[in-house]
Structure 1
Amino acid sequence: MNNIPMVDIQLWHKTLQSELEEKAISVLRSGRFIMGEEVEAFEKEAANYLGARHAISCANGTDALILALHAAGIGPGDEVLTTGFTFFATAEAILRVGAKPVLVDIDSQTFNIDPVELERSITSHCKAVIVVHLFGLPAPMDAIRAVCDRHALLILEDCAQSFGAAYGSRKTGCHGLLGAFSFFPSKNLGGFGDGGLVITQDHQTAETIQMLRNHGSNYQYHHECTGYNSRLDAIQAAMLRVKLKYIDQFNNQRRQVAQWYGEYLQKSEVICPIDTPEHVYHQYTVVLPARRDTIKKKLANKGIASAIYYPMPLNKQKALSSTEEDYELPVCEQLSEHCLSLPIFPGMTEEQVKQVADALIAAM
């Protein structure tokens, strides 16, 4: 059996290789490596694709969240609600602006924040919600918006794993004041290093983010406030422009892989992710009845990669222990012990999917 990685970057890029190489060479020859025409063009094309009036690039996805929170006026004394089941950067960004994360339990089928638990978790200091569209599945924005409207809470979206996904008629990132994206290489729209993006429909907020990402400056050597050094490299923007043209094709390939998994695993004890047209399957995460770690080792022995996203929910993280030690998130905690992510990437073949599914069933 051939080794099957979580993500085969080379296979993913195989059909684009010459186009990517030409773009990279053109940037090298231009002599312009930070910001500039490629970055401006990418921001315009990304905004157009996502349906946003403004798209502001930055250095990485974590910075995108920090910039969004800062621009939304979140700071010391504020509390921000978010899921307890996500990558640490979501809560880290809240802490970085001096606010406190309030962790909320999730729905066991979608892995996304539970709107009922969201409303139960609101305190008098809560000012905003960061909604995470985990694994590429949009969170239930209608129900979340209803809760936020009742309590006058801002909505920010962490779209690091959901580029191209839509809820209703709008792409993720366009349902709140701000949406934050990551272009880490394994993401649905992955770059060749780090990169991030913030989108908004509000012109004044966009101007604030543009200023914040560049040391608080709109004009060279004139600084309105203390900002950040968080700019996108031109070569990243140029390469992302190439891949952006094919994002729907890539996401459809992910959906096809997910469909194959569902077919091959349907008669097993494995609980597969919810199957909806809007899912873009950044990860294909299943829930196992037991022996997750043993199963993972058996897959590895057969040359099949797998990953645990996430082995520890945020309420168990040491970095949050001073503020979150009393949190009980039973669904987050249960799923963290039973979830396992399987290989999925554009270009993955049905034969590879079958190999993974057969090995998984045999290992149980």
Structure 2
Amino acid sequence: MTAQLLSRWKQSTISSHLCLDLRSPQAYQIRHLAPSTNIPWSQLSLRCAELPPKNIPFAVIEPSDQQVNSCSQWLSEHGWQCPYVFREDDDIFWTAAEQYSQPTTPKPWLLFRPCPFLIQHIDWIEKQTKDHICLDIGCGSGRDVAWLLSRQPLWKVYALDSLKGAVERTQQLTRNMGVHDRLIKCMQAKIMADGGWKTFDEDDEKMTTSISSTTRDRGNSNKANRFSPGIPSDAFFKDKLECGQFDLILTIRFLVRPLLPLLPKLLTVGGYLVISHFVEDGIHTYDQPRKDHRLQLGELAELYGSMDNVEVVTDVLEQIEDGRPINSVIIKKTGP
């Protein structure tokens, strides 16, 4: 029965390489199936961002100190599909798995999938760029960041998100994958309505107060001093990130309109801007994000098409797994 289930999994066209090993790191180091990804059962609830999309089935190896199917049942109750379940103490499984195991490679095996639009175009982008320095604005759980860092050539990435939890998840994911050394900076920062930035470290109060002292009374509340106005983009990227230009900028499922016209200024000549976000297409009906947080049809093409030294390379309408429409574009900076 175990051998038959293993055979069905390895013959599947979608999930034959996706295996979640929930045993301890010590047990995984002694023997494991290649490819597979080790996330100890005790850490799983904190590392769900590393799992495959919920419409993609995958295999699970359960630890022997847990009740049979208890781990896979938890996954199923939370929406994941894991029809191929194996046990740590099943010797038949390990014997049968030897014929499928692949040679070990230094590159991490990934369960999760980054932005499909980025996957589709990254090889071409890499051939066109030189230093491979990337800025991810709105990094979320860090899947795009971690995936990019796991590639060759070696990318160096700066990552920003307004949520502390997102920054922590991105840092944790890159550590889990052993690529954290090339995550140059990952920090909590928020783009303000005026196009400026607000960060959340101890020095921000002084910088924000200094920059905006001509427009504010000294008697303003501490809250006003902290949150309005933002640090101008030039000062933010120079003083906070210590990097003013990038070969690649990503904004995936993230939209703050005052930021859009500023992004080409942050690119090196020949650099690329990749934007992929939900769009109001007049056909599909959905709740999240709300309409004022969606792109309009043709909005990005019109904005960047009107700019000097900027070229719209790719502009497509797509749908994500749940059917919601997105507009994905690639913008190239062609001159200073």
Normalising to structure 1: TM-score of the pair? 0.22
Q: Which has the larger radius of gyration?
A: 2
User: Which structure dedicates a bigger proportion of its chain to helix?
Assistant: 1
User: Which structure dedicates a bigger proportion of its chain to strand?
Assistant: 2
Highest relative contact order (Cα 8 Å, sep 6+), 1 or 2?
1
